[in-house]
């Protein structure tokens, strides 16, 4: 009897915990979303309300007619896509070499790559900024190039361990058939690595999409090249007297939805990629 009761209490406590966690994780989004639906006068009214009195899309409409914001969306898409593509191409070459080939200097190369995955961006900021100023490189190519500092080592590292896991017999079979190293890479290994490429590509894309330090620093002068994080951090309304939080929240919702969709579709892959290396199975 008492045992059954204690298990019932345990069950209730468990579900309280589950709901509590869910609310904790999701509430800020709920708040951003309902704030975006509020009118300016309701936003500054105190106390704050849990649901808008008269939901309106006016904030969303002004966000979508804000040229600076739309431009930032385009910039971010270009930058993040280019960084991802470049890292995958360059990274899969290096990953193939490090994972499947024998050569002198392999171990040191692996150590360098691993060390680079932990390298703090701030340590190169001043140097990169000076290089870019001297070369007169425009902000977008600068961002694309410099983001490789965090996407490339990670991509190489993950792809190396992936290539290493592929059976050697496949390669040997291809070589027996007369394929060169590059042909066996392109025709045999690359199709097999598609899942790993998707995972690392997604993680690289999200990292590049989120990046703020370099983006802020490199676009100080050139406002047109700002990416989404910088645009949101420095958001000002069309006519701004005070910080237009209704529009900021609308912009926050707009940039979050595609990312969340992406994450939900590929969640298995992302979890696998994030936890790779952290757990020795």
Partner 1 sequence: MAQAQRGGSPGARRGRSLLARMEERTALFLLIPSFVILILIAFYPFGSVIWSSFTNARFASGEPTRYVGLDNYRRLLSVTIRELPVQRDASGAVVTKDGVKQYESWVRVLPRQPYRYRAVFEFGLLGKRFVVGAVSSAFVRAIWDTVVFTVIAVLFETILGLVIALTLSSNFPGRGGMRAAMLVPWAVITAVSARIWEWMLQPTRAGLFNTVLSYLGIGDGSINFFGQADLQLPSMIVMDVWKTTPFMALLLLAGLSVIPGELYEAAEVDGASRIRRFFTITLPLLSPTLAVALIFRTLDSLRVFDIFQIVLANQRFSMASYAQYLLIGQRELGMSSAASVVIFVLIFVFAVLYIRTLGVEKE
46-105: contacts with partner 1 (CB under 8 A): 46-48, 90-91, 93-94, 96-98, 101-104
Residues in the chain: 281
The one among 235, 237, 250, 269 contacting partner 1 by CB under 8 A: 235
Which range binds partner 1 by CB under 8 A, 53-61, 62-70, 189-197, 209-217? 209-217
Q: Which is nearer to partner 1, 65 or 243 (CB)?
A: 243
Least gap, CB of 103 to partner 1 (angstroms):
4
CA 150-84-70 angle, 5° bins: 105
For residues 85, 88, 93, 95, the Cα torsion angle rounded to the nearest 10 degrees is 170
Question: Is 9 among the residues that bind partner 1 (CB under 8 A)?
Answer: no
Question: Is 137 among the residues that bind partner 1 (CB under 8 A)?
Answer: no
Question: Is 166 among the residues that bind partner 1 (CB under 8 A)?
Answer: no
Q: Which is nearer to partner 1, 96 or 162 (CB)?
A: 96
Question: Is 1 among the residues that bind partner 1 (CB under 8 A)?
Answer: no
Least gap, CB of 274 to partner 1 (angstroms):
6
Q: Which is nearer to partner 1, 18 or 55 (CB)?
A: 18
Q: What is the 3-state secondary structure (H, E, C) of the chain?
A: CHHHHHHHHHHHHHHHHHHHHHHHHHHHHHHHHHHHCCCHHHHCCCCCCCCCCCCCCHHHHHHHCCHHHHHHHHHHHHHHHHHHHHHHHHHHHHHHHHHHCCCCCHHHHHHHHHHHHCCCCHHHHHHHHHHHHHHCCCHHHHHHHHHHHHHHHHHHHHHHHHHHHCCHHHHHHHHHCCCCHHHHHHHHHHHHCHHHHHHHHHHHHHHHHHCCHHHHHHCCCCHHHCCHHHHHHCCCCCCCCCCCHHHHHHHHHHHHHHHHHHHHHCHHHHHHHHHCCCCCC
Question: Is 245 among the residues that bind partner 1 (CB under 8 A)?
Answer: yes
Question: Is 114 among the residues that bind partner 1 (CB under 8 A)?
Answer: no
> Using CB under 8 A, which residues numbered 253 to 272 contact partner 1?
255-256, 259-260, 262-264, 267, 270-271
The site string for partner 1 over 167-206 (x = CB under 8 A, - otherwise) reads --------------xx-----------------------x
Question: Is 213 among the residues that bind partner 1 (CB under 8 A)?
Answer: yes
The one among 8, 233, 238, 240 contacting partner 1 by CB under 8 A: 233
> Using CB under 8 A, which residues numbered 142 to 161 contact partner 1?
145-146, 148-149, 152-153, 156
The site string for partner 1 over 20-39 (x = CB under 8 A, - otherwise) reads -xx-xxx-xx-xx--x----
């Amino acid at each position: 009897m008492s045992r059954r009761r204690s298990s019932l209490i345990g069950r209730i406590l468990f579900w309280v915990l589950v709901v509590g966690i869910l609310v904790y994780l999701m509430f800020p989004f709920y708040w951003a979303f309902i704030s975006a639906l509020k009118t300016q006068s309701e936003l500054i009214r105190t106390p704050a309300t849990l649901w808008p009195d008269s939901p309106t899309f006016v904030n969303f409409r002004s966000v979508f007619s804000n040229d600076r914001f739309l431009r930032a969306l385009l910039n971010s898409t270009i930058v993040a896509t280019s960084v991802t593509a470049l890292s995958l191409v360059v990274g899969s070459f290096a990953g193939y070499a490090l994972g499947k080939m024998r050569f002198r200097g392999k171990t040191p190369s692996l150590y360098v790559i691993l060390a680079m995955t932990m390298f703090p961006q701030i340590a190169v900021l001043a140097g990169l900024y000076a290089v870019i100023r001297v070369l007169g490189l425009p902000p977008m190519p600068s961002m694309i190039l410099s983001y490789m500092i965090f996407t490339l080592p990670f991509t190489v590292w993950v792809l190396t361990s992936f290539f290493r896991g592929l059976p050697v017999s496949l390669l040997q079979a291809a070589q027996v058939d007369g394929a060169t190293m590059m042909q066996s890479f392109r025709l045999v290994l690359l199709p097999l690595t598609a899942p790993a490429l998707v995972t690392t590509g997604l993680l690289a894309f999200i990292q590049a999409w989120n990046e703020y330090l370099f983006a802020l620093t490199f676009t100080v002068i050139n406002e047109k090249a700002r990416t989404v994080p910088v645009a949101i951090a420095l958001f000002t309304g069309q006519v701004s007297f005070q910080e237009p939080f209704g529009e900021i929240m609308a912009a926050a919702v707009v940039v979050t939805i595609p990312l969340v969709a992406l994450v939900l579709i590929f969640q298995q892959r992302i979890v696998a990629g994030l936890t790779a290396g952290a757990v020795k199975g």
